[in-house]
Structure 1
Amino acid sequence: MDVSPILDPLNPAQREAVSAAGGNVLVLAGAGSGKTRVLVHRIAWLLQVEQLQPWSVLAVTFTNKAAREMRARIEEMLAQPVGGMWVGTFHGLAHRFLRAHWQDAGLPQQFQILDSDDQFRLIRRLLKTLALDEARWPPRQVQGYINKRKDEGLRAAHLDDGGDFFEQQMIRIYCEYEETCTRGGVLDFAELLLRAHELLRERPDIQHHYRTRFRALLVDEFQDTNAIQYAWLRLLSGDHNNLFLVGDDDQSIYGWRGAKVENIQSFQRDYPNTQVVRLEQNYRSTGTILAAANALIANNPTRLGKELWTEDGAGDPVRLYAAFNEIDEARFVAERVRQGCAESGLRRSECAILYRTTAQSRLFEEALMQLGLPYRVYGGQKFFERAEIKDALAYLRLLAHPEDDAACERVLNVPPRGIGARTVERLRHEAREARCSLWHALNQALVGNLLPARATGALRQFVELITRLREARDQPTLADLTLQVIEASGLPAHYEKAKDGRGIDRLENLEQLVEAARRFEAELHDEEADPLGSFLAHAALEAGDTQADGHEDVVQLMTLHSAKGLEFPLVFVTGVEEGLFPHSLSVDDASRLEEERRLCYVGMTRAMRQLYLTYAETRRLHGREEAPMPSRFLRELPAELVEDVRAHRRGKRAGLGRASAPMAAAGGFRLGDQVVHPKFGRGVVLNSEGTGSSARIQVNFEAVGSKWLVLAYARLERAE
């Protein structure tokens, strides 16, 4: 058999991984080392060389987009469809599994998925029903508590409050939440995984079937798996030694949402005969960027270890800019972006500004606007998360499953039909008392004439609408059904009258939803599937995806977490200061500090050709002016790899241990000089502008913070 098409495009380490014979394989794939290529070629090897059938391969990706791209690349390489292969995210695969075994899992056949926003809204309603104050029991905190427990495989019944009042209340809410979801036939994202794991664990016959079927289990981004995902993999694999895991412990940055870097770090202990392959050749960044990143991440003591290298040249040094303040930082970055586009021929979309917190983006946006540079804040609201789309989908969900409380309440009065908050609260109460769905309580209220005439009439119209649509569900295509539901719902007329100026956009989005349904049905591989149910699941899973699209030629702004998996010729990692990066919540916890360092490593390795690190010597945080120390991460970079773009007031450059010459300000003062003002007291010179009688100087005073003073009248003196 000629295996050259599979192996020839690969380097030696990649070939070793792709052609590994038998047993579990752990591929430690460094940033930019071609891990997706390895996964695709490994699957091709399994199908062509080891003669596995597509339906005996399960591949887990981190995003739905990655799953689509992987399937397309495999089919292109093999020149044949691989429709039977299970390729998708953990949530997508768990959903597929539960659809096939809905009865065994104790679910209604048409169960629906709650995305994060729907789950949040449900929890808010539940808190109101339980008469709990949101100020004391924040819905986001409750949502996080429930999801974290599910990620750990824990039901409310498994938890012990230990006599703690907070824990008692949280468990009570969790219990009510579970009952509400069961009654409505809905599953949140965490429940998909937990329910799938429980079914595999408790049904040996089903477990045996899938262990026999899947002869190869491949996982991408293994370092980002959580406890329940790893447990699910172990159940599926058993003692078959058929795991092929690709990940990088140096890029594990999602501990705050349940990912456990320990999964990849302890895998060799769990599976002692694992073959480990390191992919260290980088195809993205220059030698200097890689050397700096290697030096940084070497300070994490628990890492498995690898050293990135490249056959390309050293390239430019890493450049460090010490800004006077956050405004100066934003101006500098925007100006360097302008120069890169004007002088180096970069496209705007090839320039990325990365920051630790979303609040940092505002000043960069302002600075870019002042220079006329269009930009995009990455990770904005995606199509299936828009209000008008979620409204239309809620109507479709009621067609599939009218017991869905989240969908019912969302559109009960959208468009407005005279159903007020008091009526909704009454229906919630009736549903809770009767332990039934909102839809059932609504119908019972109509039968028993429990509500005022106006509310009764409005509710009867709503019930008739949903009933009529359900009876007419047998449309030729999914797109026809979607269009009929949108038109019958009254949403188009409702949005046409909207006064927020977005009516046309919303109508166009509803048209796009019909097109999305048309495309989805055309690409639906499973002929047995219910098109509507499959489309609703697709929409919910896409709303929960972590990636965003966008191909306009605009400057890219994003958090460091959002940057993972991306690459840009020009990258700015900004705000590299103690308390901001590493974040103040992490500096006292060794494991969290390691994750912050990994996050910095991820940011640095996004850069292909030029990398800037910036920090501000003063920054306004929490309503007051502060003078943060440069980040410890800067001190961990080799001095010979970093070039100071501007000298600054601190005697030594943070991280390089060499002195910087002070820069001239104005009036004989230099940046960093200690000065005294007769009214404001002692301070430090930060900046200056202008010349002659119009010269101004910026001083950060110990007592009153930063002030700009006209030098001719400032009466400043050097401090003793």
Structure 2
Amino acid sequence: AAADAGVELPGRDRLLDGAAGDHVLAELARPTVATYNSYAASLVADHALLLGVEPASRLLGEAARYQLAAQLVESWPQDLGIDAAVSTVIDAVLALAGALSEHLLTPAAAAASLEQLAARLEATPATGPRGHLKDVVDVLDSLRTRVRLLDLVEAFAEHKRRAEAIDFGDQVALAARLAREVPQVGAGERARFAVVLLDEYQDTSYAQVELLHALFGGGHPVTAVGDPHQGIYGWRGASAGALARFCSTFTAAGPDGPQPALQRHLSVSWRNDHAILDVANRAAAPLREGSRLDVPRLAARPDAGPGLVQARVLLDRATEAQAVADFVVAGRAELGEGTTAAVLCRTRSQFDEVAQALRARGLVVEVVGLGGLLTSPEVMDLVAALQVVHDPARGDALMRLLTGARTRLGAADLHALADWADQLAGPRRRGDEQDAGPVEGVDAASIVDALDRL
């Protein structure tokens, strides 16, 4: 915790002194809680004009962001020299744009660094009789591909500016610029929040750390909580090393100048028994050995029980799903019908098999998470209906509805619909342009049109 020892808190007599005291207690009872990104969004909304950015800029969700990048890539006039599908290029542009925002880099600075890295790698002595090994060549190709994509990334940023739109990465980058370049923003935030708690600090990105340090560094009361073994967002620029650097990044004010922040270990687990912690400590041992922080082993609470951990190795996922169902049924029989259980799967692809095995035993199952919801038949039917209503060219979505359990059309009916669609489209294709080439877009035969005009 980095804290200024000179901060004075109201005394008990002042806190309880009449209406003023009630007001202070009410304020203390309602802390402001926000994610890093939502906090950055509030800063941008309040102060973006100081950087010449419209505060009411439209926030792009993932779908709108992908659509904008797709329009840019598909209309790009230059040859990128990349042998990849359009969708792959779109994903790469979005990933690279997000990475630059998370690291507060401009496309020009990123290009210079990538070219320098590629030159250094290429200048290393060849390790094989025919030159560099394939892994080295693959890395060089990857670096050069990124450099070529940076023109698209820069154009993507320009498209967003012209459309007065920003995405989540832009919000954090703009908030970090505000914190670093506009001193009054930090002064206002420090006056507004006397104490700051940063949770899951191991998952902060470089841009988020820069934002928080610029606002609350230099001795402001800040506490960070995190576990380097639980860092899961490295793919978006987060680094558990941020936790290791916290004590030097957020220094405490001392009598002789800035002092490293204090560090405390929360190593007692209050919800697990001994056997579970033994397995957890053994699994985390390699992480502990390679950590820059002195992370102690987890210890059980004083009244912890012995606990039980079971492991089984099964032939396939179907057998595994049946074993999970057996385990849950046996547990309910032992503990009572009102007992609930949670099943954690490593991948979403296992959800259906486990859910079916549990339902086959008469159990009520809830699949938590959007992925499970979108793969349920009812929701897939609803999505298909919305796609058909939105876009008459989505005959693929209509096929799900026509051949599904509700309508159950057969092959003969589908052939009849296709013939009728051709007849409906025929007059639109006759004339001078009938030999001009393939029919595209709304001029093509549509089975949706055929269904609409039976």
- TM-score (structure 2 length as normaliser): 0.63
User: 135, 159, 166: which one pairs with 2:145?
Assistant: 166
Could you tell me which amino acid in structure 2 is paired with residue 124 of structure 1?
A
User: 326, 334, 354: which one pairs with 1:343?
Assistant: 334
User: 342, 347, 359: which one pairs with 1:352?
Assistant: 342
Q: Which residue pairs with 2:129 in the alignment?
A: none
Q: Which residue pairs with 2:370 in the alignment?
A: 380
Q: Which runs of 5+ in 1 are unaligned?
A: 1-16, 25-44, 53-75, 384-410, 421-498, 500-720
Q: Which residue pairs with 1:149 in the alignment?
A: 100
SS at match of 2:370: coil
> Would the alpha carbon gap of residues 334 and 84 (structure 1) be closer, same or farther in structure 2, given more than 3 Å must change?
closer
- 1: CA distance, partners of 2:371 / 2:13: 43
Superposition deviation, residue 285 in structure 1: 1.5
Equivalent residues of 2:190, 2:220 under 8 A apart: no
Equivalent residues of 2:160, 2:166 under 8 A apart: yes
User: 105, 108, 115: which one pairs with 2:54?
Assistant: 108
Q: Which residue pairs with 2:125 in the alignment?
A: none
Q: Which residue pairs with 2:436 in the alignment?
A: none
- 1: CA distance, partners of 2:306 / 2:90: 49
Superposition deviation, residue 243 in structure 1: 1.4
Equivalent residues of 1:156, 1:171 under 8 A apart: yes
SS at match of 1:108: coil
Query: How much is the aligned-residue C-alpha RMSD, in angstroms?
Result: 3.8
Could you tell me which amino acid in structure 2 is paired with residue 156 of structure 1?
P
- 2: CA distance, partners of 1:117 / 1:361: 25
Superposition deviation, residue 137 in structure 1: 3.3
- 2: CA distance, partners of 1:299 / 1:312: 28
- 2: CA distance, partners of 1:346 / 1:310: 29
- 2: CA distance, partners of 1:231 / 1:50: 39
1:80-121 deviation per Cα after TM superposition (whole angstroms, max 9, x unaligned): 256995431111111111111131132224212112232222
Could you tell me which amino acid in structure 1 is paired with residue 58 of structure 2?
Q
User: 268, 271, 276: which one pairs with 1:284?
Assistant: 271
Alignment of 1:513-662 (within 5 A): none
> Would the alpha carbon gap of residues 252 and 108 (structure 1) be closer, same or farther in structure 2, given more than 3 Å must change?
same
Q: Which residue pairs with 2:280 in the alignment?
A: 293
1:229 paired with 2:208, answer yes
Equivalent residues of 1:237, 1:243 under 8 A apart: yes
> Would the alpha carbon gap of residues 361 and 418 (structure 1) be closer, same or farther in structure 2, given more than 3 Å must change?
closer
Q: Which residue pairs with 1:178 in the alignment?
A: 157
- 2: CA distance, partners of 1:343 / 1:294: 29
> Would the alpha carbon gap of residues 346 and 149 (structure 1) be closer, same or farther in structure 2, given more than 3 Å must change?
farther
Could you tell me which amino acid in structure 2 is paired with residue 257 of structure 1?
R
Say which structure, 1 or 2, has more relative contact order (CA 8 Å, 6+ apart).
Answer: 1
> Would the alpha carbon gap of residues 49 and 134 (structure 1) be closer, same or farther in structure 2, given more than 3 Å must change?
farther
SS at match of 2:59: strand
- 2: CA distance, partners of 1:50 / 1:156: 57
Superposition deviation, residue 338 in structure 1: 1.6
SS at match of 2:263: strand
Superposition deviation, residue 127 in structure 1: 1.6
Aligned length: 331
- 1: CA distance, partners of 2:66 / 2:268: 43
Equivalent residues of 1:211, 1:238 under 8 A apart: no
Q: Which has the higher helix share?
A: 2
Q: Which has the higher strand share?
A: 1
- 1: CA distance, partners of 2:100 / 2:13: 40
> Would the alpha carbon gap of residues 256 and 167 (structure 1) be closer, same or farther in structure 2, given more than 3 Å must change?
closer
> Would the alpha carbon gap of residues 414 and 108 (structure 1) be closer, same or farther in structure 2, given more than 3 Å must change?
farther
Superposition deviation, residue 259 in structure 1: 1.9
- 1: CA distance, partners of 2:354 / 2:391: 44
> Would the alpha carbon gap of residues 198 and 21 (structure 1) be closer, same or farther in structure 2, given more than 3 Å must change?
closer
Equivalent residues of 2:3, 2:219 under 8 A apart: no
Superposition deviation, residue 150 in structure 1: 0.8
Q: Which runs of 4+ in 1 moved over 6 A?
A: 45-52, 417-420
Alignment of 1:370-409 (within 5 A): 370-380=360-370
Alignment of 1:432-447 (within 5 A): none
Superposition deviation, residue 51 in structure 1: 8.9
1:210-238 deviation per Cα after TM superposition (whole angstroms, max 9, x unaligned): 34544322211111111111111110123
- 2: CA distance, partners of 1:360 / 1:95: 36
Equivalent residues of 1:226, 1:260 under 8 A apart: yes
Q: Which residue pairs with 1:369 in the alignment?
A: 359
Q: Which residue pairs with 1:586 in the alignment?
A: none
Q: Which residue pairs with 1:140 in the alignment?
A: 91
1:421-459 deviation per Cα after TM superposition (whole angstroms, max 9, x unaligned): xxxxxxxxxxxxxxxxxxxxxxxxxxxxxxxxxxxxxxx
> Would the alpha carbon gap of residues 344 and 84 (structure 1) be closer, same or farther in structure 2, given more than 3 Å must change?
closer
- 2: CA distance, partners of 1:241 / 1:232: 14
Q: Which residue pairs with 1:118 in the alignment?
A: 64
- 2: CA distance, partners of 1:47 / 1:351: 47
- TM-score (structure 1 length as normaliser): 0.41
Q: Which residue pairs with 1:316 in the alignment?
A: 307
SS at match of 2:212: helix
Could you tell me which amino acid in structure 1 is paired with residue 203 of structure 2?
D
Seq. identity, %: 25
User: 317, 321, 332: which one pairs with 1:326?
Assistant: 317
Could you tell me which amino acid in structure 2 is paired with residue 309 of structure 1?
A
